[in-house]
Amino acid sequence: MFDKKNPLTITMFTFVVAFGLLIGILYLAQPMWVQVVNQNTRKGAISWKLVISYSATFAIVCAIAVMLMMSKNRENESDTSFPIDTSFPAPTMAASYCGAKH
What tens digit of pLDDT does each residue of 10-64 get? 999 999 999 999 999 999 999 999 999 989 998 989 999 999 999 999 999 999 9
Residue 77 clears pLDDT 60, i.e. is over it: no
Q: Which three-class secondary structure state does DSSP give residue 47?
A: coil
The answer for residues whose C-beta is within 8 angstroms of residue 60's C-beta and 6 or more apart is 15
Q: How many domains does the chain have?
A: 1
Residue 83 belongs to a domain: no
Residue 79 clears pLDDT 70, i.e. is over it: no
Residue 81 belongs to a domain: no
Residue 88 belongs to a domain: no
Spatial separation of the C-alpha atoms in residues 46 and 101, rounded to whole Å: 80
Give pLDDT, residue 6.
Answer: 85
Spatial separation of the C-alpha atoms in residues 6 and 85, rounded to whole Å: 33
Mean pLDDT of 81-90: 64
Q: Which three-class secondary structure state does DSSP give residue 10?
A: helix
| Structural domain range at position 24 | 7-75
Residue 85 clears pLDDT 70, i.e. is over it: no
Spatial separation of the C-alpha atoms in residues 4 and 24, rounded to whole Å: 26
pTM (2 decimals)? 0.67
The answer for residues whose C-beta is within 8 angstroms of residue 10's C-beta and 6 or more apart is 4, 66, 67, 70
Residue 96 belongs to a domain: no
Mean pLDDT of 66-81: 73
Residue 86 belongs to a domain: no
Give pLDDT, residue 86.
Answer: 61
Residue 43 belongs to a domain: yes
Residue 66 belongs to a domain: yes
